[in-house]
């Protein structure tokens, strides 16, 4: 998959998540959060009103710190594909 195809697949995966109406498991959301932040080069601090949520988000980001932007996109896409394949 070239860079342009990866970008398109990533945007499609993000759209699938954003359009889904049922709640997701918390651990799944944290992984998506970390890979999305890495994939989009968004390194802003978590901004939840609850400190415990910020701690979990920070931990998720820390666990994904050594992967590239492209690998983050691939992993995000894989997580989304697997979720919708096996969770229904």
The vertex-76 CA angle with 72 and 79, nearest 5°, equals 140
User: What's the pTM?
Assistant: 0.89
Per-residue tokens: 19: 């359009």
Tokens 């499609």, residue located = 12
Per-residue pLDDT of the chain (88 residues; tens, 9 = 90+): 899 999 999 999 999 999 999 999 999 999 999 999 999 988 777 777 888 888 998 899 888 889 999 999 999 999 999 999 987 5
The CATH topology of domain 3-86 is Acyl-CoA Binding Protein (1.20.80)
Give me the torsion for CA of 54, 57, 53, 23, rounded to 10°: 150
């Amino acid at each position: 998959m070239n860079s342009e195809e990866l970008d398109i697949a990533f945007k499609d995966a993000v759209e699938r998540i954003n359009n889904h109406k049922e709640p997701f498991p918390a651990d799944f959301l944290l992984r998506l959060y970390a890979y999305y932040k890495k994939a989009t080069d968004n390194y802003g601090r978590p901004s939840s009103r609850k400190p415990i949520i910020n701690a979990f988000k920070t931990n998720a980001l820390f666990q994904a710190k050594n992967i590239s932007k492209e690998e983050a996109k691939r992993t995000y896409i894989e997580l989304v594909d697997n979720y919708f394949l096996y969770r229904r």
